[in-house]
Structure 1
Amino acid sequence: MMLAMIRIEPALVVALSPHGEHAVVGRFLSADQGLVAAYVQGGRGRKLRAVLQLGNRVALDLVSKSPQQLAFATVHPLAANLALMHGPAALALVDYLASLAAATLPEGEAQPHLFPLFDALLGGAAAGAAALDVGPALVRLELAVLAELGLGLDLASCAATGTVHDLAYISPKSRQAVCRGAGLPWAAKLLPLPGFLLGTGEADAAAITDGLALSGHFLARDVLRDSAAAKRCWTARERLVTLLAR
């Protein structure tokens, strides 16, 4: 039987499930291959335990007998994520990012846009980035994930008037921006649109709170529901948002 082998480098470790006594089934995110699942012999052993940590950068040699069968992976370390050195918020960021990728992205679809965003935020966790730096990047990543899933927001113009000026809200129904004048009478039913997403305002604590509420609304309503993995991901997000607000 013909065996196919490919090299994936770099890839991010985003999920691990025990398999038997010593092995794991890992899920890895890369730019060219997207989300990939693979069997790693000895993945729970002393040699690979430190390599197979969420958020780590690795290289994979994948061998598969057929597209229908789980590939076998040989894992090579590239860079360890050092979020552990920077406290609970950094660890929570790694946990959430890994679970977000694993719970939402389809397997086997290239992610040339999303991979750098995940990689950069995981790098921020490893470096102990401040909440004011993490928050805006996290909002942009979540909105990018929504867009990848066909659930993106339209920030180009006002849904009510067509103007491109003074956009201040998002309609939960149409996912389109609404300008301040048209939206003010209905503000209680609309979602605030922070200016930093349009390049017109600072990403201060209040704006980050609005941004996370915005992306979180659509993730919770349309994506992170039903499955156990989705619910675990949402729980991880809630913990992260609480820690970032401190």
Structure 2
Amino acid sequence: MNGGGASLEWEAPALVLSAAPFGEADALVHLFSPAQGVTHGLVKGGSGRRGSATWQPGNLVQAQWRARIPGQLGTVTGELAAPNAARALTSRLSLACLSSLCAVADGALPEAEPYPGLCQDSAQVLAMLGTHDEGIELSMLIRWEVILLRDLGFALDLSRCAVTGQTDRLCYVSPRTGRAVSEEGAGTWAPRLLPLPAFLLTSDAIGNVEDWVNGLRLTAHFLGRDVFGPIHRSLPAARIRLLDLVRAQQEV
């Protein structure tokens, strides 16, 4: 049966968001698939010698999920479709991006609610980690976080200045409203606003280290306040480590 999150059996490509050992060799996994959203399940042998490589966070698997009754923790089987985790091992920053994306999605998305567009975007970002310039990877990850905020109902409005209405020279974002502010509109309030990296205003721009730090700070503010704050959680540790890593590059 292929259907929504309430199905008792489904098969689909799915991203592994997390995997934790359970018992001697099994694993509790969180999967993200287009039609089912985030789903939890038990993989027999998932943390054993043979299974652990398949169920690494970030990997794309062809998964089969089954449960006997609604609300039961299902059992999962599957085959590796794309070894994204192994590819990201080529770079410390790529691995940090992968860990951050998986942790943020795992913590932010409600269980069994489909986000097909976001799932596709997540798969695209994970597939390119370890294969591109680190700047491209970071800019893509930050754009992904902006999309995540939008899909969860907390869209940033970067189209025009909230004060003057102008569409050029947008330099800041209001930490209260999430709306862009121009240099003229900011005035003496500029120190209280969040810097807006220019690459977020142009689809093919990449930015530099300062832009990536500002972009990660920008999305972290709204993720922390609007997504994780209401459920009484802090930003995932992997997300905090990513910002620390990029800040360290800025200081070199």
Q: Which residue of 223, 227, 233 corresponds with 2:233?
A: 227
Q: Deviations over 1:98-146 (max 9, x none)?
A: 111111111111122212222122122242x222101211111111111
When residues 242 and 193 of structure 1 are mapped into structure 2, their CA distance, relative to the original with a 3 A threshold, is closer
Q: Is 1:7 matched up with 2:11? A: yes
Amino acid at match of 2:42: Y
Q: Which residue of 54, 60, 63 corresponds with 1:60?
A: 63
Q: Which residue of 217, 236, 242 corresponds with 1:237?
A: 242
For structure 2, list consecutive stretches of 5 or more residues without a partner in the other structure. 1-6
When residues 123 and 239 of structure 1 are mapped into structure 2, their CA distance, relative to the original with a 3 A threshold, is farther
Amino acid at match of 2:237: R
When residues 71 and 178 of structure 1 are mapped into structure 2, their CA distance, relative to the original with a 3 A threshold, is same
Corresponding position of 2:4: none
Preserved CA contact (<8 Å) 2:94 2:134: no
Preserved CA contact (<8 Å) 2:194 2:218: yes
- Cα deviation, residue 171, structure 1: 0.8
Preserved CA contact (<8 Å) 1:224 1:233: no
Q: Deviations over 1:79-115 (max 9, x none)?
A: 2122354132222222112111111111111122212
**What secondary structure does 1:221 align onto?**
helix
Preserved CA contact (<8 Å) 1:103 1:233: no
Q: How many residues align?
A: 241
Q: Is 1:193 matched up with 2:196? A: yes
Corresponding position of 1:208: 212
Corresponding position of 1:102: 106
Preserved CA contact (<8 Å) 2:213 2:247: no
**What secondary structure does 2:225 align onto?**
helix
Q: Which residue of 93, 115, 121 corresponds with 1:111?
A: 115
Preserved CA contact (<8 Å) 1:89 1:243: no
Preserved CA contact (<8 Å) 1:92 1:239: no
For structure 1, list consecutive stretches of 5 or more residues without a partner in the other structure. none
TM-score, normalization by structure 1: 0.87
Amino acid at match of 1:79: A
**What secondary structure does 2:176 align onto?**
coil
- Cα deviation, residue 244, structure 1: 6.0
**Distance across 2 between alignment mates of 1:115 and 1:231:** 19
When residues 62 and 201 of structure 1 are mapped into structure 2, their CA distance, relative to the original with a 3 A threshold, is closer
**What secondary structure does 2:129 align onto?**
helix
Amino acid at match of 1:125: L
Q: Which residue of 150, 153, 167 corresponds with 2:153?
A: 150
- Cα deviation, residue 224, structure 1: 4.1
Q: Which residue of 120, 124, 128 corresponds with 1:124?
A: 128
Amino acid at match of 1:209: V
- Cα deviation, residue 17, structure 1: 1.7
Q: Is 1:83 matched up with 2:115? A: no
Over the aligned positions, Cα root-mean-square deviation in angstroms equals 2.3
When residues 193 and 85 of structure 1 are mapped into structure 2, their CA distance, relative to the original with a 3 A threshold, is closer
**Distance across 1 between alignment mates of 2:91 and 2:225:** 30
Q: Deviations over 1:132-185 (max 9, x none)?
A: 101211111111111222222112322112233332211111111112211132
**What secondary structure does 1:113 align onto?**
helix
When residues 25 and 243 of structure 1 are mapped into structure 2, their CA distance, relative to the original with a 3 A threshold, is farther
